[in-house]
């Protein structure tokens, strides 16, 4: 008879996660006209990372941006 070992997952340590996220640098670039496409993409990604970090810290998962399309319903 085989015995299966039950693995319990520990709950995430939110204090540790938020302190780690606060130390991630956010890229800030000057003048939009002098930026390459890659620089503009990186800046938008930095904004997205900052928004995700803020949502995790504040536990607020709503967007500040006016969204044109908001998906609804199940996806799976």
Tell me, what's the pLDDT at 32? 59
pLDDT of residue 4: 58
Which run of H or E residues covers position 19?
helix 14-22
Task: Identify whether 15 is part of a domain.
Answer: no
Question: Which pLDDT score is estimated for 30?
Answer: 58
pLDDT at residue number 45: 92
Residue 52, domain extent: 37-62
The two three-digit tokens of residue 70, written as one number: 């908001």
User: What pLDDT does 39 receive?
Assistant: 87
Amino acid 18: pLDDT:
72
How far apart are alpha carbons 76 and 49 in whole angstroms?
Answer: 26
- Predicted pLDDT at 6: 58
Domain count, the chain: 1
Over the chain (76 residues), what is each successive 10-residue block's mean pLDDT? 60 72 64 77 90 82 66 65
**Would residue 44 count as lying in a domain?**
yes
């Amino acid at each position: 008879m085989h015995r299966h070992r039950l693995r319990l997952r520990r709950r995430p340590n939110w204090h540790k996660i938020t302190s780690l996220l606060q130390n991630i640098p956010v890229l800030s670039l000057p003048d939009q006209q002098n930026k390459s496409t890659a620089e503009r993409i990186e800046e938008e990604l930095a904004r997205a990372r900052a928004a995700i970090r803020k949502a995790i810290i504040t536990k607020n998962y709503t967007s500040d941006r006016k969204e044109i399309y908001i998906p609804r319903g199940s996806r799976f």
